[in-house]
Amino acid sequence: MGGIVFYQPAGVGRMKGKGEFPSMNVKSPEGIKPGGRPYKVMVVENKEFIRKQIVQILESEGYDVVATASNGQEALTKIAKMDTKIDLVTTTLDMPVLDGYAFMYELSTKGNRPLVVFISEETTKGVMQDLIKMGMSDFILKPVDRRTILYRIKNVLQKQKNPD
């Protein structure tokens, strides 16, 4: 007989619409510049699966992948024909036709070149030193890892924006 009765004030406990809650975990995509435009990126990788994987990782964070290429020569040709400035190029060392080392050399002779991040297998100390001299921004060891790629590319772009 004397059961407990719960009274609930109007509006309490009801689910609210998504827009009514302040979002506590708002994170802007890493591929968007402070002005709101996406960074423009080219992915140069001879292995199609890895190339698609890198593109997917970058696009998932808002980067605008404006072109892809399977070797350095194809990349240089595409860059020459572009009417837009590329902010960053990812590339690998071991490619047919024109490898990553020669591609980096060719880019280093041009003015207003994009930042270059290598995503590649291990290499010798000498090759690394040469790539650094030619202006390489970073070197990420394969296998491809989403978190590492996004973190390191974000750091390269931030360093370029705020040089020490």
Judged against a pLDDT cut of 80, whether residue 19 lies above it is answered with no
The answer to whether residue 94 is domain-embedded is yes
State the residue range of the domain holding 137: 48-161
Instruction: Work out how many domains the chain is built from and give that number.
Output: 1
Q: Per residue in 122-147, is it b (16+ CB within 10 Å) or e — as a string?
A: ebeeebeebbeebebbbbbeeebeee
- In angstroms, the Cα distances linking 103 to 13, 97, 108, 122, 140 are 61, 10, 9, 18, 17
Mean per-residue pLDDT for 109-124? 90
Q: Is residue 23 part of a domain?
A: no
Would you say residue 5 lies in a domain?
no
Q: Tell me the pTM.
A: 0.81
- pLDDT tens-digit map of 62-100: 999 999 999 999 999 999 999 889 999 999 999 999 999
- CATH code of 98's domain: 3.40.50.2300
Is 153 contained in some domain? yes
